[in-house]
Chain A
Amino acid sequence: QVQVVQSGADVKKPGSSVKVSCKASGGTFNSYDISWVRQAPGQGLEWMGGIIPMFGLTNYAQKFRGRVVITLDESASTAYMELTSLTSQDTAVYYCATATIPEAGGALDVWGQGTLVTASS
């Protein structure tokens, strides 16, 4: 059973960028779709985008297009989410999650532990 471990908490200045990593253990990402989801303080879950390794395709929520890039280093079994032009509104816990159940239509059954990103001057 694949597990995913994310990079640690980070503090960034407004206007800068952050890159969060997500490493698979006990398996690889090669066959599994990967999504990035965030939760800002007091808010709900917000899907940011995802990558389909089999086709090398990425898909981003409209809100984040132009500001987020999701990539995958298959040789390292590590996915990355880079968010640019940070504002205080980007302070949130960021999760990576993957869909490992073939018949589940992309439902996210394996989640990382979350990474707190704080955007503050």
Chain B
Amino acid sequence: ETVLTQSPVTLSLSPGERATLSCRASQNVDSRYLAWYQHKLGQAPRLLIYGASSRASGIPDRFSGSGSGTDFTLTITRLEPEDFAVYYCQHLGPFGQGTKVEI
């Protein structure tokens, strides 16, 4: 079973700044099955990115995904107040441990 390790655990930023989140797999993975989710307290998780780089329907273009092999990145170009949340990567089931983006 592939283990996904996300870094950093916490990212402290201000609105308008750029956020770069990392997801590293313990072995090469097929990027077609790499997804990113946003999760806010009291809500269901929300799919942001699938196939490592494709935005899900309704996701603003300030969210982008990239990467292949073992290293993947989620970038939020200009943080909006509603973007402060926990972000998870996932590959064929298992999730990473999450990165909390906080003010």
Query: Which residues of A are in contact with B by a Cβ distance under 8 Å?
Result: 35, 37, 39, 44-47, 49-50, 59, 61-62, 95, 97, 101, 103-109, 111-114
Query: Which residues of B are in contact with A by a Cβ distance under 8 Å?
Result: 1, 30, 32-35, 37, 39, 44-47, 50-51, 54, 56-57, 86, 88, 90, 92-98
A95 to B90, CA, bound (A): 15
Instruction: Determine whether the beta carbon of B93 is less than 8 Å from that of A35.
Output: yes
Q: Distance in Å from the Cβ of B87 to the closest Cβ of chain A? A: 10
Instruction: Determine whether the beta carbon of A62 is less than 8 Å from that of B1.
Output: yes
Instruction: Determine whether the beta carbon of A104 is less than 8 Å from that of B35.
Output: yes
Contact partner of B90 (CB less than 8 A), chosen from A39, A47, A101, A103, is A47
Q: What A residues does B88 contact at CB under 8 A?
A: 44-45
A101 to B54, CA, bound (A): 12
Instruction: Determine whether the beta carbon of A45 is less than 8 Å from that of B98.
Output: yes
Q: What A residues does B44 contact at CB under 8 A?
A: 95, 97, 111-114
Q: What A residues does B90 contact at CB under 8 A?
A: 45, 47, 107-108
Instruction: Determine whether the beta carbon of B94 is less than 8 Å from that of A109.
Output: no
Q: What B residues does A106 contact at CB under 8 A?
A: 33, 92
Instruction: Determine whether the beta carbon of A104 is less than 8 Å from that of B97.
Output: no
Most chain B beta carbons < 10 A, residue from A47, A105, A106: A105
A89 to B37, CA, bound (A): 24
Instruction: Determine whether the beta carbon of A108 is less than 8 Å from that of B95.
Output: no
A80 to B9, CA, bound (A): 33
Q: Distance in Å from the Cβ of B29 to the closest Cβ of chain A? A: 11
Contact partner of A104 (CB less than 8 A), chosen from B45, B46, B51, B95, is B51
